[in-house]
């Protein structure tokens, strides 16, 4: 105390210089960083004022400077990577949130994501909070399970989803290194997804013995702030028919003639693209019977584009067999077939259709068809859910009939489909 009280003016001056010199350097660094990232000026200007007013040992100042620059780098990364606009599309593209993987109702390996990424808020909590945050390690990003498993650096039942030098890996790593932040209020949101073409009838290329069809899909994402970005390589492509092969970059190759619908998904939006792979048929000539109703008109318009002429009207024997199989799922009896064939009425086909639609077997058969289409079964919905939905489908069909099916009849029908 006595020594400090009697130190000379020269000693005090030297001490001030030692403390002040780093501060000038710090201000220069801070000024450069603030000019590069103006949005962070409010974070670091108070620090500069604090250093200007408080004398601190050089060691303490160095620690403060390192902490400040580290916070700056994390903030810059957090600004560049958005959880919803960047991280969620990576998980979807890799197939992590499909029903066959972690999007399953029960998840996989204790890890459950929302199906196809429809609940980003919940997925964020799962990734950053469950398992005490073990899936993301901001201190050592490359040791995060979110990166180790999909790159097969540790065992992963789903196999390799991307490699360590890919864009997907860099996006996830930058987000984790920034502290795995959630999106800030005001972050732009996806509002529209534009895909081209929306429909195409493709002619084959190559040898006639092994024709191939090819087209390139492009996707553009439009956001709430009016900006647009090319999302062709980031969207998910799903074909409803295995006749088409689709590359991650959106190149579609048809293997055989036919039709398919490609579902293009990006975040919460999805756009269907209808593609038809048509044979060349240079000598094609359209030939068709006169349309009987408005449905025939639409069918004929589609067949013309597919270069397929409809078949001629079938005879009565073929018709009575087909209409019973289509509407009731069973063959007509011999008496029913004989009575129809010998009938000379010009409206007998329309009359027979109306009669079959009134039978309870029609509701049973088509309720079964819809139950198969909607996948109403115990493994997906459990027994109670499957029974209730089957009852609803059967009831809707029964109510269309003049005789009607009500109450216990509907529930009795529903039991057949489980």
SS (H, E, C) the chain: CHHHHCCCHHHHHHHHHHHHHHHHHHHHHHHHHHHHCHHHHHHHHHHHHHHHHCCCCHHHHHHHHHHHHHHHHHHHHHHHCCHHHHHHHHHHHCCCCCCCCCCCCCCECCECCCHHHCCHHHHHHHHHCHHHHCCCCCCCHHHCHHHHCCCCCCCCCCCCCCCCCCHHHHHHHHHHHCCCCCCCCCCCCEEEEEEECCEEEECCECCCCCCEEEEECEEEEEECCCCEEECCCCCEEEECCCCEEECCCCEEEECCCEEEEEEEEECCEEEEEEEEECCCCCCCCCCCCCCCCHHHHHHHHHHHHHCCCCCCCCCHHHHHHHHHHHHHCCCCCHHHHHHHHHCCCCCHHHHHHHHHHCCHHHHHHHHHHHHHHCCCCHHHHHHHHHHHHHHHHHHHHHCCCCCCCCCHHHHHHHHCCC
> Which of 34-48, 54-68, 91-105, 334-348 is predicted least confidently?
34-48
Tell me if 160 is assigned to some domain: yes
How many Å apart are CA 26 and CA 30, to the nearest integer?
Answer: 6
Do 323 and 378 belong together in one domain? yes
Are 339 and 391 contacting, i.e. CB atoms less than 8 angstroms apart? no
Tell me if 292 is assigned to some domain: no
Q: Report pTM.
A: 0.66
Tell me if 311 is assigned to some domain: no
**Greatest CA separation for the chain:** 131
Do 93 and 142 belong together in one domain? yes
Do 254 and 335 belong together in one domain? no
Tell me which of 388 and 321 has the higher pLDDT. 321
Do 28 and 44 belong together in one domain? yes
Would you state the pLDDT for residue 196?
A: 96
Would you state the pLDDT for residue 80?
A: 78
Are 151 and 168 contacting, i.e. CB atoms less than 8 angstroms apart? no
Do 329 and 271 belong together in one domain? no
pLDDT exceeding 90 applies to what percent of the chain? 52
Tell me if 307 is assigned to some domain: no
Do 73 and 102 belong together in one domain? no
Tell me which of 50 and 154 has the higher pLDDT. 154
Tell me if 57 is assigned to some domain: yes
Contact residues for 214 (Cβ-Cβ < 8 A; gap 6+) = 202, 205, 251, 252, 253, 254
Q: Does the structure show a pLDDT above 60 at 417?
A: no
Tell me if 25 is assigned to some domain: yes
Start-to-end CA span in the chain (Å): 92
Segment 82-100 mean pLDDT: 94
Of the ranges 47-51, 119-123, 133-137, which is most confident? 119-123
How confident is the model over 223-238, as pLDDT tens digits? 999 999 999 999 999 9
Do 160 and 195 belong together in one domain? no
Domain termination residue (choose one: 254, 277, 300): 277
Tell me which of 284 and 15 has the higher pLDDT. 284
Q: Does the structure show a pLDDT above 70 at 13?
A: no
Of the ranges 132-136, 180-184, 286-290, 375-379, which is most confident? 180-184
Are 253 and 239 contacting, i.e. CB atoms less than 8 angstroms apart? no
Q: Does the structure show a pLDDT above 80 at 336?
A: yes
Are 313 and 341 contacting, i.e. CB atoms less than 8 angstroms apart? no
Would you state the pLDDT for residue 409?
A: 42
Do 65 and 89 belong together in one domain? no
Would you state the pLDDT for residue 131?
A: 66
Would you state the pLDDT for residue 418?
A: 37
Would you state the pLDDT for residue 172?
A: 95
Do 169 and 207 belong together in one domain? no
How many Å apart are CA 390 and CA 251, to the nearest integer?
Answer: 40
Domain termination residue (choose one: 177, 210, 229): 177
Would you state the pLDDT for residue 160?
A: 93
Band (pLDDT 50/70/90 cuts) for residue 2 is: very low
> Which of 51-55, 83-87, 310-314 is predicted least confidently?
51-55
Would you state the pLDDT for residue 117?
A: 92
Do 194 and 271 belong together in one domain? yes
Domain of 241, CATH number, reads 2.60.40.1080
Would you state the pLDDT for residue 375?
A: 73
Tell me if 306 is assigned to some domain: no
Band (pLDDT 50/70/90 cuts) for residue 10 is: low
Would you state the pLDDT for residue 135?
A: 86
Do 271 and 360 belong together in one domain? no
Segment 232-253 mean pLDDT: 94
Domain termination residue (choose one: 62, 80, 98): 80
Band (pLDDT 50/70/90 cuts) for residue 198 is: very high
Contact residues for 341 (Cβ-Cβ < 8 A; gap 6+) = 316, 317, 320
> Which of 28-32, 58-62, 187-191, 270-274 is predicted least confidently?
28-32
Would you state the pLDDT for residue 5?
A: 47
Are 417 and 376 contacting, i.e. CB atoms less than 8 angstroms apart? yes
How confident is the model over 62-89, as pLDDT tens digits? 555 554 444 444 444 445 799 999 999 9
Tell me which of 190 and 380 has the higher pLDDT. 190
pLDDT exceeding 70 applies to what percent of the chain? 69
How many Å apart are CA 217 and CA 195, to the nearest integer?
Answer: 7
Average pLDDT, the chain: 79
Tell me if 225 is assigned to some domain: yes
Do 409 and 332 belong together in one domain? yes
Tell me which of 34 and 188 has the higher pLDDT. 188
For 265, the domain range is 190-277
Band (pLDDT 50/70/90 cuts) for residue 391 is: low
Q: What is the number of domains present in the chain? A: 4
């Amino acid at each position: 105390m006595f020594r400090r009280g009697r130190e000379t003016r020269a000693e005090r001056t030297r001490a001030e210089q030692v403390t002040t010199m780093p501060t000038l350097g710090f201000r220069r660094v801070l000024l450069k960083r603030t000019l590069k990232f103006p949005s962070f000026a409010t974070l670091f200007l108070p620090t500069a004022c604090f250093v200007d007013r408080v004398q601190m040992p050089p060691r303490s100042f160095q620690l403060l400077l390192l902490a400040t620059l580290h916070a700056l780098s994390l903030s810059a990364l957090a600004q560049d990577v958005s959880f919803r606009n960047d991280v969620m599309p990576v998980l979807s593209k890799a197939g992590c949130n499909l029903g066959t993987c972690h999007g399953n109702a029960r998840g996989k390996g204790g890890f459950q994501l929302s199906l196809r990424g429809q609940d980003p808020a919940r997925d964020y909590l799962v990734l950053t909070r469950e398992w005490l945050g073990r899936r993301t390690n901001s201190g050592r990003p490359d040791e995060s399970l979110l990166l180790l498993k999909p790159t097969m650096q540790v065992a992963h039942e789903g196999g390799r989803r991307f490699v360590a030098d890919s864009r997907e890996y860099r996006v996830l790593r930058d987000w984790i290194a920034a502290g795995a932040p959630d999106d800030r209020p005001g972050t732009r949101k996806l509002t529209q997804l534009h895909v081209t073409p929306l429909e195409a009838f493709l002619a084959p290329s190559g040898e006639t013995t092994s024709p191939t069809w090819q087209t390139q899909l492009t996707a553009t994402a439009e956001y709430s702030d009016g900006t647009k970005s090319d999302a062709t390589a980031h969207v998910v492509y799903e074909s409803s028919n295995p006749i088409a092969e689709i590359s991650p970059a959106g190149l579609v190759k048809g293997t055989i003639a036919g039709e398919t619908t490609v579902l293009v998904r990006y975040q919460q939006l999805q756009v269907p693209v209808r593609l038809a792979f048509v044979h060349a048929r240079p000598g094609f000539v359209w030939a068709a019977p006169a349309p009987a109703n408005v449905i025939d008109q639409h069918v004929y318009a589609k067949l013309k584009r597919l270069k397929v002429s409809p078949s001629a009207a079938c005879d009565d024997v073929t018709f009575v067999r087909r209409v019973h199989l289509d509407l009731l799922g069973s063959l007509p009896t011999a008496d029913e077939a004989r009575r129809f064939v010998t009938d000379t009425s010009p409206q007998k086909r329309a009359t027979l259709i109306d009669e079959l639609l009134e039978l309870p077997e029609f509701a049973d058969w088509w309720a079964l068809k819809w139950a198969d289409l909607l996948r109403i079964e115990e493994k997906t919905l459990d027994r109670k859910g499957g029974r209730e939905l089957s009852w609803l489908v059967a009831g809707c069909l029964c109510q269309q009939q003049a005789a009607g099916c009500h109450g216990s009849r509907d529930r009795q029908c529903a039991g057949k489909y489980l």
